[in-house]
Amino acid sequence: MKRNDGVGNIFYRDTFAEGFVENISPTEKLFSFHLLKKIPLFLLLIFSFASSAQVNTQRQLADQYLGNAEYDKAAAIYDKIFDQDPFGVYPNYLRCLASLKESEKAEKMIKKMMKKNPENLSFLVDLGFLYLTEGDHSKSKQQYDKAIKSLKPDQQQVIVLANAFAARQEWEYALSAYSEGKKMLKGIYSFSFESAEIYFMKQDFAKMIEEYLDVLAENAAYTQNVQNILQARIGNDPDNSRNEMLRVALLRRIQKNAELPVYSELLIWLFVQQKDFDSAFIQAKGLDKRMKEDGGRIMSLGSLSASNLNFDAAVKCYQYVIEKGTGSPHYVNARMELLNTLNRKITESNTYTQVDLLKLETDYTHALAELGKNATTATLVRGLAHLRVFYLDKTEEAIQDLDSAIHFAGISKQVQAECKLELGDVLLFTGNVWDSDLLYKQVDKSFKNDPLGQEAKFRAARLDYYRGDFLWAQAQLDVLKSATSQLIANDALALSLLIQDNIDFDSTGEALMMYSHADLLSYQNKNEAALQTLDSLLVQFPGHALTAAAWYKKAQIMDAKHNWIMEDSLLKQIVEKYSDGVLADDALFDRAELYEKKLNDKSKAMELYQDLLTKFPGSLFCVEARKRFRSLRGDVLN
C-alpha cells in the first residue's frame, strides 16, 4: 500500500512491518522511520554510481575504437554519452568528428562547450582551427583574434589559451597570448619561460635565448634553472651556432648592463661547458675586479680547470689570487693549490726534465719557508715528500718530514691519515714493507667504510700481492670490488682478476711470483731490474697467460724512461696478438694517447681512437676515446 510521509518521500507500506513497528518502543519507531526515509536517497546513489561506471566502460570502449582508427564506431558511443560526461568525452569526440569530416556536428559541440565554460578560451581556438581545416581562413582568424581579445588578467587563463594555440602549432598566436597577458598583468608575471619554449618549438634559438636572458634580468635567482634548460636546448649543437648565439647575446647584455653580474656569470658557465677555461678565466677575472671580490670565484674556477686537466688555466687562476697579496683570505690556499697543480702538470704529462723537477722542488721549499710547516701546510709537506722520493730519489728527508707532519698540532684526522698513507708508500719504496703494512692497517682501521679506509685496504692488499701472498691479497681485493670509490673498485677488480687467472693457469704460482716481483721493482723505480725480471719470465714461461701483462708492464716502464718508440711496439703487440684479452683495449687506448700527446701524430691518434670504438664498443675507454676523437677532429665539445 502506497503512503506519503508528508515531506515528499513516498514508500510502500508493509503490513507485516507495520505490525512489527507497532510492537516496538517509540525510540525504535523513530529510528525505523528515519531509516525508511533514507532508502530512496541510498538507492539514488547506487544508481548514480552504476551509471557513472557504465559511462566509463563505454568511454573506454570508444577510446579503444579511436585508437584503432575506427572513428565511426567511436563517434557513435561518444555521441551517446556526451551529455553525461561532456568534458571527459570532448577531446576524443572532436578528433573523431574531425577525422569523419563532420564539421557541422563538431561546430555545434564546440559551441555547446563554450556555453558550458565561457572562461575557457581554448574552445575558441578549437572552433577557429575547425574553420581553418574547412579552408575558411577569415572565420578562423576571427575566432583566434576573439580569443586573444577575450583574455583577462589571469595567469592561468593566458597559459591555457597559449597552450591551445601551441597544440595547433599556431606559434604566433601563442606568443600573442603571452604578450597580451604580460601587458595585462603589468609586471606581475612576464611569461618569459613559456615564450622561450614557444621559440624553441619554432627553432628560433636567438629569440629563445633572449627570453631566458630576460628572466635573469628580472630575477637572478633563476640562474640555475636557466642553465639547466640551456644545457638541454643548446648542448647538442654540432656546428656550435647556438652556443655562438648565446655568447654574442651575453656579451651584448654585459656591455649594456655591466651592473648585473648574472650575465658575466652565465658567460663563464658557457665557457666552462665548452672546456674553454682560458676564456672563462678572462671573464671571471673581469667580474672579480668589477665586483671587488676576494678571489673566491677564481679559486673555484682554478679547481674546476685542474680537475679537467687544464693545468695552465688553473695556474693562471691561482697566480691571480696570489697577486692580490697576503691579505687575501685565499692567499695561503692559492699558494698551496698552485704547487699541487704544478706538480700534477709536470708529473702527469710524463714529458718532464730533471730541471723541471728541481724547479718544482725549489718552489715547494720556498712556499714552506714562507708559510711554515704546520697543520695547514701538511698537504704541501706530503706533496714535496712524494716528489722527492718517487722522482728525485731523496728518501731520508721525505721520511722525516712525513713523520713530523703526522704529529703536527691541530692536524685533521683526514690529512693525518693521508700523510700516513704517503709515508707507507715511501717505506714500501725503500723496502721497509713491515712498517708500510702497519701504517696502511692503521688507516684502514680508523676509516672503516670510508673511501680513505678503502684506499688503505687496497694498498695493504697490493702489498700482500707484492710479497707473494696471493690468496690473502685476493680475499681482501674481492671485498673492495664493491667499494664506494669506483676507481678503487676498478683497481681491486683488475688486480683480483690478474691473481685469479694466473693461479688457475699455473697452480705453482711461480710465474705470478716473478711478475709481482717485477711489479714491485717497477714501483720502486728499479726499472732495469724490473725489465730483466720480466724478460726472464717471458723466456722461462713462453705462452704463459701473463705474457700480455708482462708486455704491458714493460710498456709502462718504457713510458717512464721516455722510450716511446719501444712502448708503442709493445702495446701494438698486445693489440695484435691478444685482441681478445683483457688488456687489448687498455693497450689500444694507451697507443692512441701516446700518439696524441707524446708523438704528436694527431692523424694516427684519431685512427687508433676510432679503432677502439669499432673493435671494443663495450670498453670503459669508449666515452673518453669518443671525446678525444671529436676534439682532434675539431668538434666543439660541451
Pick from 43-47, 245-249, 278-282, 362-366: least confident: 43-47
Average pLDDT of the chain, as a whole number: 89
Q: What confidence tier does 507 reach under pLDDT thresholds 50, 70, 90?
A: low
pLDDT tens, residue by residue, 251-265 = 999 999 888 999 999
216: pLDDT strictly greater than 70: yes
pLDDT at 636: 59
Binned at pLDDT 50, 70 and 90, residue 427 comes out as very high
- Higher model confidence: residue 51 or residue 247? 247
For residue 4, pLDDT over 70 is answered with: no
Q: What is the DSSP letter of 221?
A: G
Closest to 326 in 3D by CA, of 370, 273, 377, 368: 370
pLDDT above 50: residue 232: yes
CA torsion sign for 430, 435, 440, 442 is negative
What value does the mean pLDDT take over residues 102-109? 91
- Cβ neighbours for 528, distance < 8 A, ≥ 6 positions apart: none
Would you place residue 40 in the very low, low, confident or very high pLDDT band (cuts 50, 70, 90)? Answer: low
What is the Cα–Cα distance from 522 to 553, expressed in whole angstroms?
9
Residue 526 has pLDDT above 60, yes or no: yes
Q: What are phi and psi of 80, to 5 degrees?
A: -65, -35
- 506 pLDDT band, cuts 50/70/90, is low
Q: What is the pLDDT of residue 21?
A: 37
Q: Compute the distance between CA of residue 360 and CA of residue 348 in angstroms, rounded to an integer.
A: 14
- pTM, whole model, 2 decimals? 0.78
Interval 477-496: pLDDT, tens: 999 988 788 889 989 999 99
Residue 174 grid coordinates: 601563442
What is the predicted pLDDT for the residue at 11? Answer: 37
pLDDT score of 235:
75
Q: Domain map of the chain by residue range?
A: 2-52, 505-633
Segment 585-603 shows an average pLDDT of: 95
CATH code: domain 505-633 is 1.25.40.10
DSSP output for 488-524: HHHHHHHHHHHHHHHHHH-TT-HHHHHHHHHHHHHHT
Q: Is the pLDDT of residue 555 over 70?
A: yes
Pick from 614, 566, 617, 615: nearest CA to 591? 566
Residue pLDDT, tens place only, 123-169: 999 999 999 998 999 999 999 999 999 999 999 999 999 999 999 99
> Quick one: pLDDT band at residue 1, thresholds 50, 70, 90?
very low
Compute the chain's Rg from CA coordinates: 38
**If residue 299 lies in a helix (H) or strand (E), which one and from where to where?**
helix 296-307
Average pLDDT of the residues in 372-394: 95
Q: What is the mean pLDDT of residues 84-88?
A: 86
* Residue 28, pLDDT score: 46
